[in-house]
């Protein structure tokens, strides 16, 4: 069983949705990123590590601002792999890379899959690569045992949801709202239940929900219908302001318990 599946299973047995924090690699600095990632992993079931990219179309202003800062500091692809290795040395939990396709294409598909696997990554989350255009990447991921996660959104047609759900090998990532990432109020998450229900008609894999989760209340709304809760911008905002990152992680973790 993969670390990813094991993480979701362990959370389910504990009566929770899996807690999945996100941070961009190298933010706010190489050393602090590793410290913050390990702090979040104390609460997390698995973690997304973002590959800083100059044109993050699916990300809102918070993540854009963070990744721009990292890139201005001269962060490179080699730094990215080093960051993953540093985190992997200190955790056995599942680690995933969230990346747009262009950096993969530029590095070379097989080289990228091989190098992230060597660094300790279990899966990729691909926000801008639909599975019907991943015909060369999918067999490479299978070759190196790197799980793939594609995205669905409230605007996805039933046929598109079926295609994505059947193509995922890690988990299905359901975007909670139309638009970009960023903390929102819980009222913006009303489309989630039907989207998760539709995805589960086509796969036995877990379905995690991201975009818009910022606190215990919004995490609880997601946890009531999904297998995983993804949180990113709220942590970056907290780091920016010098806030209590561990405290926020504990607060959101508490929201992942499903009501009995």
Tokens in use for 44? 């997390």
Active site residue 115: no
* Crossing angle of helices 158-167 and 192-200, rounded to 10°: 60
**Active-site pick, 48, 86, 115, 122:** 48
**Active-site pick, 59, 86, 115, 227:** 59
Q: Is 233 helix (H, G, I), strand (E, B) or coil?
A: helix
Contact 27, 62 (CB under 8 A): no
CA-CA distances (angstroms) from residue 188 to 128, 160, 211? 22, 22, 10
Q: How far apart are CA 81 and CA 11, in angstroms?
A: 28
Tokens in use for 108? 């070379």
Active site residue 191: no
Catalytic residues: 48, 59
């Amino acid at each position: 069983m993969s670390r990813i599946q094991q993480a979701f299973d362990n959370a389910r047995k504990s009566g929770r949705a899996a807690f999945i924090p996100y941070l961009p690699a190298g933010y706010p600095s190489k050393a602090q990123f590793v410290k913050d990632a390990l702090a979040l992993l104390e609460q997390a079931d698995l973690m997304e590590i973002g590959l800083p990219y100059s044109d993050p179309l699916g990300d809102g202003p918070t993540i854009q601002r963070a990744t721009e800062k990292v890139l201005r500091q001269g962060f490179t692809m080699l730094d990215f792999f080093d960051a993953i290795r540093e985190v992997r040395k200190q955790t056995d939990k599942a680690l995933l890379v969230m990346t747009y396709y262009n950096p993969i294409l530029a590095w070379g598909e097989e080289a990228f899959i091989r190098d992230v696997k060597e660094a300790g990554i279990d899966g990729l989350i691909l926000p801008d690569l639909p599975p019907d255009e991943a015909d060369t990447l999918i067999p490479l991921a299978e070759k190196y045992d790197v799980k793939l996660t594609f995205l669905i959104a409230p605007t996805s047609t039933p046929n598109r949801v079926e295609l994505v759900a059947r193509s995922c090998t890690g988990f299905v990532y359901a975007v909670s709202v139309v638009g970009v990432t960023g903390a929102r109020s819980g009222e913006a998450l009303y489309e989630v239940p039907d989207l998760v229900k539709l995805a589960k008609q086509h796969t036995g894999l877990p379905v995690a929900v991201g975009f818009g989760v910022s606190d215990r209340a919004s995490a609880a709304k997601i946890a009531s219908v999904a297998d995983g809760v993804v949180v990113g911008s709220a942590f970056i905002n907290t780091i920016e302001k010098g806030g209590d990152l561990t405290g926020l992680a504990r607060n959101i973790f508490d929201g992942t318990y499903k009501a009995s």
